[in-house]
Amino acid sequence: MAMSLNIEMWEVFGEVIWRLFIGLIIIIITAFIAKLVRKFLDRQYSRIIEKKFDIIDEKRFATQYAFLKRLFTAIIYLVGIIAVISLFPQLRSISVALLASAGFAGIVIGLAAQKVIGGLLSGVMLSVFQPFRVGDYVTFKNKYGQIEDISLFYTVLRTWENKRLVIPNYLITDEVVENWSIADPKIFWVLDIGISYDSD
């Protein structure tokens, strides 16, 4: 009796170790595929950008490319996570729910914070409608600077002081953003210079 119990325990333990090993292999393969996809997209981006876009079209394409690159990477890792979860019978129901659109939406709404969902949707809107693009000069809440990066959840603004403002996308889409270079890369700035009456 004790011997058969020990054998069963070793069988269960061996199966768990084997599944963990397979899960590790899946994670490595997923990371490798994500890296290959990023390199492929980078090469395509370099080829397309060599076609002498004007500066406005180049900014627009750079913004869309940065968003799509992160989106594809997130999808690849999501598929890898689902594959790892499906290895374990206790968690298999979760992977099935993730693959079902209704179940996936329910899990996301139930577990994710509202601001995270809002940030993701705002990131999609910024990529599609492009009120500003990577490289544009904008004013946001009295802060003037250049858009350095637009990700799925946040936008990076580099100010005159060379500081980086990391702004959540849900916040920046709810505020007025003054874009100085959306139609013309040349910027005209009015400076008030005081001159004393005693000056020659």
C-beta of residue 109 within 8 angstroms of C-beta of residue 38: no
C-beta of residue 157 within 8 angstroms of C-beta of residue 140: yes
Q: How far is CA 148 from CA 136, 159, 196, in A?
A: 8, 10, 40
Ordered by start, the domain boundaries in the chain are 2-111, 113-184
What is the pLDDT, as a whole number, of residue 102? Answer: 47
Domain 113-184 class, CATH top level:
mainly beta
What is the pLDDT, as a whole number, of residue 157? Answer: 92
Mean pLDDT of 154-160: 88
Q: How confident is the model at residue 17 (pLDDT cuts 50, 70, 90)?
A: confident
Mean pLDDT of 93-100: 58
